[in-house]
Every structure is written in C-alpha cells, then in structure tokens.
A and B are shown apart, each in its own frame.
Chain A
C-alpha cells in the first residue's frame, strides 16, 4: 500500500464549477500538507501549504486537512480553463523529513 493515495483522474468539469481534489494517507506522523500544480512540461509549483488539521483559503483555493480521517482536500471555486493542470498532493512528518507525493490528478476545465 502506498503511503499517499490520489485518484489519477482525468477529471473534466465545465468552467465555473467547483472542483474537489482529494488524497488519503496512511502515516499518522504526517503534519505538513501541500498541494502542487503542474502544467504540462513544467516543474511542480507550490499552490497551498497547511500545517496540521484545519482549513486554509487563498483566493479561489481552499485546502482542508482532516487528520482523524487521514484525508486532505483541495477545492477550487469558479474554476477557469487556466486551472487545467495536474494537481499533486504532498506531505511530510517534519521539516527535516522526506516529502511524499501522491501520483497526481489530471484536471481539465472545459470552456
């Protein structure tokens, strides 16, 4: 079993829809949770960063962490075609330990 599981998609939604992306994990020691966005033929770029449980909002993006269920989510409101990319979740136990990535979900926003 992988430490981090992520549905690879692809996920296709119409412009303006709310998108929900999710990851589950098995290591209860994880405390740092990240979402990266990766456009085709580019390196991943950090989108959201959360420490421990709770919600974090940044513009149209909201990250949620539920440590009791070992489940994290990324919500995108008012989705735009420019949001079309692969989204990778990532997590680590401490600032000194390795970061473990999910396999990524490919998202497509239809105009």
Chain B
C-alpha cells in the first residue's frame, strides 16, 4: 500500500517551459488536492477534485491547470513556468463521507530559473 505517490521528486525549469506533476493514490479516495508550500505561507490550495470528473479552483489557481484522469490520478500542469512558481508542491487525498483526514504525498521540489 503506497498511499499517495508523486513524480518527479525534483525538477528545475527555465522560465516559459511547461511541465506536468503527477499524483496517484491507491486508497480509493474520492477527493484529491494540490497544494503549494512556501516559507512562512503554510499550505495553499491550488486546485482540488471532490470526486472523479470534477475539479475546482482553490486559493491560488492562476498559472496552473489540473486533470482528474480517473479516481486514482490527479495531475497538475504548469503551461508557462514563472519564477514565482518556485515552491514545494504537495498532492493529497481524502476519503470524504465523514472521514475527514487528508493523506499527503512526499512532495515535488520545483525551481523555476
């Protein structure tokens, strides 16, 4: 049981390049989330998917797109990376239906030069 997995673990991009961060969970959870974590800012929600087939904006969605490919997978895409998107990105999943705990992946450290 791997829980929540994220790839890649590290990535360096140049300004303007695009990339997709992958996330998968094997706990049959309904909801999945993408956060970014910056020093002193805590975890800020980028996008979330309450269930397969739905996605919604969070607190800081600008510059990002997401795809809930199926129940297991939720990807985050940066179409044109900017230095302000340098951060640590965490994916999380949650069962829902009264089980209100989130489980986090190990994170992706992204640097945009």
Contact = CB atoms under 8 A, between A and B. Distances in A.
A-B complex is real: yes
A103 B104 contact: no
Contact of A95 (B43, B100, B105): B100
Given A43-B104, A95-B98, A103-B42, 5 more contacts: A34-B102, A44-B90, A46-B103, A99-B45, A104-B42
Contact of B40 (A8, A41, A51, A90): A8
B48 interface: yes
A33 to B, nearest CB: 9
Interface in A70-111: 88, 90, 92, 95-96, 98-99, 101-104
With a 10 A CB-CB cut-off, give which of B4, B94, B102 has the most chain A CB atoms.
B102
B102 A99 contact: yes
A88 B43 contact: yes
Q: Using C-beta atoms within 8 Å of the partner chain, give the interface range for chain B.
A: 20 to 34
Interface in A10-58: 32, 34, 36, 41-46, 49, 51
B106 A43 contact: yes
5 nearest A-B pairs in the assembled complex, by CB-CB distance: A103-B42, A43-B104, A101-B43, A32-B100, A95-B100
A6 B43 CA distance: 12
Interface string B85-113: 00000100010111111111111000000
A45 B104 contact: yes
